[in-house]
Amino acid sequence: MSLAGEGQQKLSKEGWRKQKELEEARKAGTAPAEVDESGRDINPHIPQYIKSAPWYVSTGQPTLKHQRPQPEKQQQFDGILDWYMRGVDTSKKSSKFRKGACENCGAITHKKRDCMDRPRKVGAIFSGDNIACDEYEQPELSLDYDGKRDRWNGFNPNDYDKVMEEHVLVEKAKQQIKAETLETELTSHQESTENEVKIEEAEGSDNGVTVINNTDPTDNGVKKEAVGSDRGRDSDNEEMCSEIVGVPGQKFDSKLRTTVRNLRIREDTAKYLLNLNLNSAFYDPKSRSMRDNPYSNTGKVPSEVPFAGENFVRSSGETSDMAKAQLFTWEAFERGVELHLQGEPTKAELLYKEVNQRKDAFNNEIKQEILDKYGGEEYLKVPPKELIFSQNERYIEYSRTGRVVKGEERAPVKSKYEEDKLDSNHTAVWGSYWKEGKWGYSCCHSLIKLSYCTGLAGQQAEREAEKYLAEAMEKTDDSVSKSLVELHKERMVEKRKNKNKVTQEELDKIREEKVQEAIKEIQQEINKESDNNSATDRKRVYSSMQADPIAPSEEQLEAYHRVKKMKNDPMSDFIGKDY
């Protein structure tokens, strides 16, 4: 028993609950499955909307018959080989015009407006002659989904034989025409050769040259070739063939008597194998051309490489002259001269030469006038630069170690600035001594430019001054730059350290007090700058940047890092403000 929906009465609440429990038990395998009318089990996991039959096919019992194909409703489709009939039925041909047939050709299967024959001068309805055959009666095909969409359905491969036969006949006709043309040319060449031989024989007999003419009685008086002529008819034919087809890029086959295109000599290296770099010149496989130079990335000169690209060949020779001539004809045509390079090449060439000659003569005349007026003609008569700068008679011979054995070595090129210039009694140039970021003279260790040299005495004075400064620094106490309070605190710390009673906490406390005092000093400087609204550079003493600054203490550095604003901190503008 299944749920309501198969034509049964509606179940009560209790019956519905029992039915659901039975289905769950069947799915779990604890209860037997339903059985259809043929005795087969029904899968309990099949959804209800598939298992329940519609009201118009319901049998009142569990079944899946409505989900299976119905034999009486299945359509029988035609096979893959079934197709419409082509052409006309030649077995049945009418001898007279029939009522309702085509008025043009006389076929009964179509009307005059659908006729595909040539319109006759006198239609079949009036003449009754030459009645066309009727088309086949087309069957009604029932094709399936794939049959309707098969592009090759109904294709007959035998129909293509007619196309192949037509091509074969065309090729045979072409070969026959070529053979006849070649035979005609060979015959004409042979006749011209025989005439030349006869003329030579006649001239030789006139000049007293004996020509041996052996006549054989079996030849019916036919003359044989002269002794001096060792070429037979075969050699003449071969020579003729070589002259006819002696064209670059062509190969002649005497058996087929056809020409075959020879695109490239197989021994030559292909263009795309000259440089295997992917960034080299582009090679077009269709036209087999490489325009650019494949060795451009290697730094080689185009004259040193075996192949510099087709553009290099195109721009060499008379190509540039041809381009200039074309440009000249265009300019002449714009100025009203009727001139065309391809239409009148001789006229264009003569006119181009005449214009160039006049132009050169005019330039030479202007040049001579300038030389006559200002002079300087002797400076123009000099050897070319290639001979001046690249060739000389200086001979230098070096040893294996690089030492000059014979000749004079070329002097090194000097700078345009004055070198080795000594002044003020100095024995060394300025900049030969370096100390503490300053230049000086190495002879006297003086750091003042253009000062008078003191020699060794200056060096001794410098050493004594350094020694005196070092002793003074040792004697000088750091208290000069410290306040009385700081000195008092440091003394107290030293006393505590001496008594071994000071602790790390006290040291940190003292250091923190120093940091706070340094922070107050920085804040006071900032307030002064903001009040005066002036830059600190204006308050500096003259040449204060050159003086050696006093190194800040650790407490001052700590105070600076605490007071400094962090630009990356979004809350830096609110530090020290009460809101």
pLDDT at 426 over 80: yes
Single out the residue of 253, 255, 285 nearest to residue 272, CA to CA.
285
| Report for 72-81, 189-198, 219-228, 292-301: range of highest mean pLDDT | 292-301
Q: Pick 405 or 201 by higher pLDDT.
A: 405
Single out the residue of 237, 242, 234 nearest to residue 188, CA to CA.
237
What are the tokens at 239? 């020579």
**Least confident among 16-25, 118-127, 142-151, 467-476:** 467-476
Q: Kindly state the average pLDDT of the residues 130-137.
A: 91
Mean pLDDT of the chain: 78
pLDDT confidence tier of residue 4, bands split at 50, 70 and 90: very low
Q: Kindly state the average pLDDT of the residues 315-336.
A: 88
Cβ neighbours for 341, distance < 8 A, ≥ 6 positions apart: 325, 326, 329, 348
| Whole-number Cα distances in Å, 372 to 241, 375, 377, 531, 561 | 68, 6, 8, 80, 82
Q: Kindly state the average pLDDT of the residues 558-569.
A: 76
pLDDT at 282 over 80: yes
d(CA 186, CA 190): 6
d(CA 575, CA 70): 89
Question: Quick one: pLDDT at residue 318?
Answer: 83
Single out the residue of 257, 239, 244, 260 nearest to residue 177, CA to CA.
257
Provide the 10 A C-beta neighbour count for residue 271: 19
| Whole-number Cα distances in Å, 95 to 88, 106, 124, 443 | 16, 10, 11, 139
List, for residues 427-444, the tens digit of each pLDDT value.
Answer: 888 888 988 888 999 899
d(CA 568, CA 563): 15
Single out the residue of 233, 237, 227, 221 nearest to residue 204, CA to CA.
227
- What are the residue ranges of helices labelled H in 245-335? 310-314, 319-334
What are the tokens at 38? 């043929």
Single out the residue of 154, 153, 140, 138 nearest to residue 75, CA to CA.
140
Q: Kindly state the average pLDDT of the residues 233-248.
A: 47
Q: For 275, which DSSP code?
A: -
Provide the 10 A C-beta neighbour count for residue 281: 22
Q: Kindly state the average pLDDT of the residues 371-382.
A: 87
Query: 177 near 107, Cβ under 8 Å?
Result: no
SS3 440: strand
Q: Kindly state the average pLDDT of the residues 55-84.
A: 81
Question: Quick one: pLDDT at residue 9?
Answer: 63
Distance of CA 136 to the CA centre of its chain: 61
d(CA 503, CA 133): 132
Is residue 147 within a helix (H) or strand (E), and if so which, with residue range?
helix 145-148
Question: Quick one: pLDDT at residue 531?
Answer: 64
Question: Quick one: pLDDT at residue 242?
Answer: 46
Query: 562 near 516, Cβ under 8 Å?
Result: no
Q: Kindly state the average pLDDT of the residues 57-67.
A: 85
Angle in degrees, CA 138, 142, 145, rounded to 5:
135
d(CA 333, CA 340): 8
Q: Kindly state the average pLDDT of the residues 556-566.
A: 80
pLDDT at 203 over 70: no
Q: Pick 176 or 476 by higher pLDDT.
A: 176
Where do the DSSP E strands lie in 139-264? 250-253, 258-261
Provide the 10 A C-beta neighbour count for residue 53: 21
What are the tokens at 66? 């409505």
**Least confident among 13-27, 137-151, 365-379:** 137-151
Question: Quick one: pLDDT at residue 197?
Answer: 66
- The residue extents of the domains of the chain are 13-73, 98-132, 422-476, 480-526+555-564
pLDDT confidence tier of residue 356, bands split at 50, 70 and 90: very high
Q: Kindly state the average pLDDT of the residues 215-232.
A: 40
List, for residues 154-201, the tens digit of each pLDDT value.
Answer: 888 888 899 999 999 999 999 999 999 999 888 887 887 777 766 666
Q: How long is the chain?
A: 579
Is residue 22 within a helix (H) or strand (E), and if so which, with residue range?
helix 13-28
Question: Quick one: pLDDT at residue 249?
Answer: 44
pLDDT confidence tier of residue 240, bands split at 50, 70 and 90: very low
Question: Quick one: pLDDT at residue 111?
Answer: 94
List, for residues 477-519, the tens digit of each pLDDT value.
Answer: 554 556 677 777 777 777 766 655 556 777 788 888 888 888 8
